[in-house]
Structure 1
Amino acid sequence: MFFTMNSNKMFFMFILFFSTLISISSNSWFGCWIGLEINLLSFIPLINNSNNILSSEASLKYFLVQSIASINLLFCVIFKMILMKNFEMNNFLMIMINSSLLMKMGSAPFHFWFPNIVEGLSWFNNFILMTWQKITPIILLSYYLNKNFLIIIIIMNSIIGAVGGLTQTSLRKLMAFSSINNLSWMISSMMISENLWMFYFFFYSFMISIMCFLFYFLNMFFINQLFFININFLIKLSLLINFLSLGGLPPFIGFFPKWIVINFLLNNNLYFLTFIMIMMSLIMLFFYIRILYSSFMFNYLKLKWMKIFVKNKMMYLINLLSFISISGMILSTFLFI
């Protein structure tokens, strides 16, 4: 099994799922806010672990940051109802509501909490934080957005996600900055179409889930473990495919949604934004390839007593899913013929 859960945690997972449905199906901002609060209160018991100081600290930080964002959102919603006729104030409140939702999803420049909290969580909780916890804020953002403000946010996400990951040695923080960079693509797709965002989000969740599965089974948290531990060559190849797919390199499946988003951005004459996002993706690929180069080339550092034997049947499934990633170029080619 990927993780072990007792009945209490299953209950909180159930509440987490339904809190998202409450928010995205609500017809008022108060209903959305209530759904966000239920989501917050159901996620904290999942990440809190009394036996781990880091997770307890992460749960407290997460509570404080999300509470500040929720208070700001509620304050802005109340003021919006009072001052709806004043256009200038309404425009300011639009930016403030957008900022609150961006803080909730860990977007730059409100990302200060995201890498620190990720460092204290397990791989499964990281997977939830990087995927499911972004659904509600992004959908709410699509209801009430300021396009010019979001273009600046997209550029910041793209640059900070790429540059911030260059100096990281922790795999969890590396995945956090990768998530921030991918958030720029998600917000771009959300500005164009909600269906396009769902399409990109599906592929992103697929790639992140494989990475979290792999790191969980191999018990890896730092980059140096990739070349100090004696890992099966097939697993290293699986890591290679998934890292390059996450970076959006053709012919892997991660390139497929990015190619579609680039096409739509160019059709909307957002040439400068597209250029920035592509350049930052190249930086992401640079530090992914740097990690993989070390993993494949430093074989002389293998230690016999650190050899890992992975006999779990789930590893066969992960390897299969990894090699499905190679089909990305075939899908892309047939779609645009």
Structure 2
Amino acid sequence: MWNMSSLLFILSLMTGTLISISSSSWLGAWMGLEMNLLSFIPLMQKNKTPYENEASMKYFLIQAIASILFLLSILLAGMMDFDFNNYISYLMASALLMKTGAAPFHFWFPGVMEGLTWSNCLILMTWQKIAPFILLSYKIHMTMFFTTVIVLSVTIGAIGGLNQSSVRKLMAYSSISHLGWMISAMLINSNYWLLYFSIYVILNSAVIYIFNNQSIFHLSQTYYNNSSPMIKFSMFISMLSLGGLPPFLGFLPKWILIQNMMSSQYALLILIMVMTTLITLYFYLRIMFSAFMFMNQEVMWYNNNSKINLNTMIMGTSMLGIPILLMMSFL
């Protein structure tokens, strides 16, 4: 349960992000990022376990390095001639990408996720990405640098999740894959990024709510979990929707992005992104298939409670994509 100090830190965390995105100077944005970082560290220490200590130390060191690089790029931009500005913007972009956990700056992300509670995992995968992404949107252009980051993010996000038995690490690699899509959405249009990010937050929240509710941390727990078939079904529908399987809601932003990138002549890039997304769908389907195969081994009595209604609503959110996609296909 959240206490008063947790609420204070959450408020401070949100204020830091709002300062960053509304600042008129780079230095103000840096101050907001630092405030955000120093508010999240105490939230990570919720249960004071050794795993949380390790995760918060990793997170602090990486974010501090990224902040130093960001501050260095601000100072260099003020001191250097105009010729160096291209390299400085790459340094600034690298610092911001390190803060989000995009590949090839992703190595800290699965390790930090592994040591956190589900509520902190949700904050790390959603809210903590807002400020760096909006700051990145000021400097982003379709260059070889960003193309490489997109390709690496979707590839590492797909391959990294294949041999994972930890659900938190699986979600971390899924997040890295989505980051590649979000960066490409930002390159096309900020509105597409906003749509993608909003749907990603909704689906992520739905999946993490079920994981937290059922205390699922490893894949083996999904096989022999004595929850009702409705809870299991809503969990897997939400996961497949998060993976971007048509015709669920998660496919909607990907479809819009595929259309726009094809019309912008980025066919090879979108081909790589779609192919790697199929790999992420493969490991989601593998979990789902195994869990449903084991369902006939389970006890056939369940404790039906009021939470079933919320799970039905979560499943309905993912199913919402079906009528939307049907309407779009007829337009």
TM category (shorter chain) comes to over 0.9
2:75 pairs with one of 62, 74, 78: 78
- Once residues 106 and 48 of structure 2 are traced to their aligned partners in structure 1, the CA distance between those partners, rounded to angstroms, is 27
**Aligned residues of 2:141 and 2:187 also touching (Cα < 8 A):** no
Cα deviation per residue 1:173-211 (whole Å; 9 max; x = unaligned)? Answer: 000000000011111111111111111100000000001
Matches within 5 A, 1:170-185: 170-185=166-181
Q: What letter is aligned with 2:87?
A: F
1:254 pairs with one of 250, 253, 277: 250
Partner of 2:63: 66
**Aligned residues of 2:102 and 2:179 also touching (Cα < 8 A):** yes
Q: 3-state SS of the aligned residue for 1:229?
A: coil
Q: 3-state SS of the aligned residue for 2:120?
A: helix
- Once residues 7 and 102 of structure 1 are traced to their aligned partners in structure 2, the CA distance between those partners, rounded to angstroms, is 32
Q: CA deviation at 1:145?
A: 2.3
**Aligned residues of 2:230 and 2:311 also touching (Cα < 8 A):** no
- Once residues 335 and 300 of structure 1 are traced to their aligned partners in structure 2, the CA distance between those partners, rounded to angstroms, is 39
User: 5+ residue gaps in structure 2?
Assistant: none
Partner of 1:115: 110
Partner of 1:218: 214
**Aligned residues of 2:231 and 2:311 also touching (Cα < 8 A):** no
Cα deviation per residue 1:139-191 (whole Å; 9 max; x = unaligned)? Answer: 10010124211111000000000000000000000000000000111111111
- Once residues 246 and 219 of structure 1 are traced to their aligned partners in structure 2, the CA distance between those partners, rounded to angstroms, is 20
| Structure 2 residue 66 is matched with structure 1 residue 57 | no
Q: 4+ residue stretches of structure 1 with deviation over 2 A?
A: 299-304, 307-311
Partner of 1:32: 29
Q: CA deviation at 1:236?
A: 1.3
- Stretch of structure 1 that moved more, 319-328 or 52-61: 319-328
Q: CA deviation at 1:243?
A: 1.3
Q: Percent identity?
A: 44
Partner of 1:277: 273
Q: CA deviation at 1:324?
A: 2.8
2:44 pairs with one of 31, 42, 47: 47
| Structure 2 residue 1 is matched with structure 1 residue 8 | no
Q: CA deviation at 1:230?
A: 2.0
| Structure 2 residue 159 is matched with structure 1 residue 166 | no
Q: What letter is aligned with 2:122?
A: F
Quick one: structure 1 residues 62 and 128, their matched pair in 2 at CA, closer, same or farther if it must change by over 3 Å?
A: same
Q: What letter is aligned with 1:79?
A: L
Cα deviation per residue 1:72-118 (whole Å; 9 max; x = unaligned)? Answer: 11011100111142x2x211111111100000001100000000000
- Once residues 300 and 324 of structure 1 are traced to their aligned partners in structure 2, the CA distance between those partners, rounded to angstroms, is 27
**Aligned residues of 1:227 and 1:301 also touching (Cα < 8 A):** no
**Aligned residues of 1:227 and 1:302 also touching (Cα < 8 A):** no
Q: What letter is aligned with 2:172?
A: A
TM-score (norm 2): 0.96
- Once residues 50 and 116 of structure 1 are traced to their aligned partners in structure 2, the CA distance between those partners, rounded to angstroms, is 17
Q: CA RMSD in A?
A: 1.5
Q: How many residues align?
A: 329
Q: 3-state SS of the aligned residue for 1:152?
A: helix
2:87 pairs with one of 81, 85, 92: 92
Quick one: structure 1 residues 193 and 225, their matched pair in 2 at CA, closer, same or farther if it must change by over 3 Å?
A: same
Quick one: structure 1 residues 331 and 83, their matched pair in 2 at CA, closer, same or farther if it must change by over 3 Å?
A: same
Partner of 1:133: 128
TM-score (norm 1): 0.94
